[in-house]
Amino acid sequence: MKKSLIICALASLLAGPLHAQSSSFTLGKWVEVNNAILKELSRSYVDSLELGRIERAGVDAMLSALDPYTVYVPEEEQETFQMMLSNTYGGIGAVIHKPDVDGNVIINEPYADSPSAKAGLRCGDEILSIDGLSTHGLKTQEATEKMRGKPGTTVKFQVKKLRGGPSWKAGDVIEVPVVRERIVLPSVEFVGMVEDTTGYILASKFTDGVAQSVKDALVALKKSGAKRICLDLRGNGGGLLSEAVEMVSLFVPRGSVVVTAKGRAAGSNAVYKTSQAPVDTEIPLVVLVDSGSASASEIVSGALQDYDRATIIGTRTFGKGLVQSIRPLPYDGQLKVTTAKYYTPSGRCVQAIDYSHRNEDGSVGHIPDSLTHEFTTAHGRKVRDGGGITPDFEVKGRKYSRLTYSVVLSGIVEQYAMKYVREHETIPPVEQFHFKDYEDFIAFASDKTFDYRSAAHAEFDEMRKILEEDGLADALKSQLDALQKSLEMDKESFLRLKKNEILPFIEEEIAVRYYFQQAGIRVRLRYDDALREALAKPSIKI
């Protein structure tokens, strides 16, 4: 027995160094193999090589074998990456549209109070040149890059005006200088009352400052008479963990654990607690989530659910329970690397058990209870882990037909909105505006090319192809032809059939072009049946 103990002791002493030596050897081996392959390819490969492209492809493939969130960010992509984190950039503050490379740039949507709006640029104005350079031949991205720049600098446009103004007529070409500013895209896109006593906050991202924006909105809504708050995190893909912690701190006592991070590397384990005094720990709170609510959205909804502080309503969230950190690399590159998993106050990890097999929208698929674990909220309610946050009440969002997706995603609704703006100088205030020219839209859309098959028709076409490959189509020709005929519907009839689905999108696109983004959100809320159903649910007692 003494001999066995000595052997065990030796084994435990040697295990660590041997493991470290093995990992170090493996790393050195593959670095050497990779360098040898590149040298040999550079020397022997039959064609000339773009070594930068090959190496980038290799790095991306290596990282994709880990998880979807560990990525390499080279120097030339830093600006875009930082914009994603901060939601800011230097520019004129407008969405542009370029129908074709040889055409002009069209102002599609200036932001409210932006440099473009202050300079008098409006939806439908055409930009002929940027700092003397013709926009003809420029791609949309190239035009965008020339408009962006350091805040305080001036960019000069040659503009063909859609409408008359103080010193020009419709169609006149004028010079418009615009002083660039630091454009901050709001993470809190809308704040307002949706019922007599219900305040509504729409937070679309967890970028720097979003928690303060939610705090300001909460205070303002309470002053406006809000007796209940609805925090909408639907489609919010997350962002900064620190902002999630600060957002939770608005509603729970100081010192409450919000999330725990657990990783392998030194410094990756941490417990995040609220450090600020709350705004209100008692006001009834509803949090709306869906399959697009991920990461920081899940930290917020999970913590508030674990403390029984909010009623979570919607559909199960995305299921991203991984923490990423930024590590510097040579040549000013960066590695966004997954360093930990996070856990809600009750101990749940929201990371999907298998993030490689998800639904079509990327969210968590079905997970049987046998593969999950049960946890308990502050008041003893049962909750489970295994992927995402399961809401207290399920309320599904509106389902749209294949035709509606096709019309919207192909840009036909957006193009029609531009046509409408050219033909209508004004519209009523957004609360009174209702689009009543749907037959005109049908006539416009019918001349456009898009896939207007129903989902059943698309499935039928795929089935027919398979039958043809299997040599069975000829034998079933009469039945297939009869079924195809019954599925066919002309474009105009199908558009007319789906009017109730498409109409809200048209109204939103038109409203935005006259009254900016806030108006578009107001139109969206007008048709948000899921929101109304959610607000009719009972609240969790705290």
State pTM to two decimals. 0.87
194 vs 541, more confident: 194
Residue 5: what pLDDT? 44
Task: Tell me how far the alpha carbon of residue 482 is from its chain's centroid.
Answer: 43
The CATH class of 188-397 is: alpha beta
Residue 21: what pLDDT? 59
Query: Is residue 14 pLDDT above 50, yes or no?
Result: no
DSSP secondary structure letters along 82-116: HHHHH-EEEE--EEEE-SSTTS-EEEEEEPTT-HH
User: Taking Cα atoms as reference points, which of 326, 340, 360 lies closest to residue 268?
Assistant: 340
Query: Is residue 367 pLDDT above 90, yes or no?
Result: no
Phi and psi for 330 in degrees, rounded to 5?
Answer: -60, 155
Q: Do domains 88-184 and 188-397 have the same CATH topology?
A: no
Q: Where are the domains of the chain?
A: 34-42+49-69, 88-184, 188-397, 402-454+489-532
Query: Is residue 15 pLDDT above 80, yes or no?
Result: no
Q: Which pair of structure tokens corresponds to residue 337?
A: 């690397």
Residue 87: what pLDDT? 82
Q: Which residues contact 53 (CB under 8 A, 6 or more apart)?
A: none
- Active site amino acids: 295, 306, 320
Q: Which pair of structure tokens corresponds to residue 428?
A: 């009523």
- Cα dihedral 150, 154, 159, 162, rounded to 10, equals 70
Once rounded to an integer, what is the mean pLDDT over residues 515-529? 95
Instruction: Give pLDDT tens digits for 138-163.
Output: 999 999 999 999 999 999 999 999 99
Q: Which CATH architecture does the domain made up of 88-184 adopt? A: Roll (2.30)
Query: Is residue 13 pLDDT above 60, yes or no?
Result: no
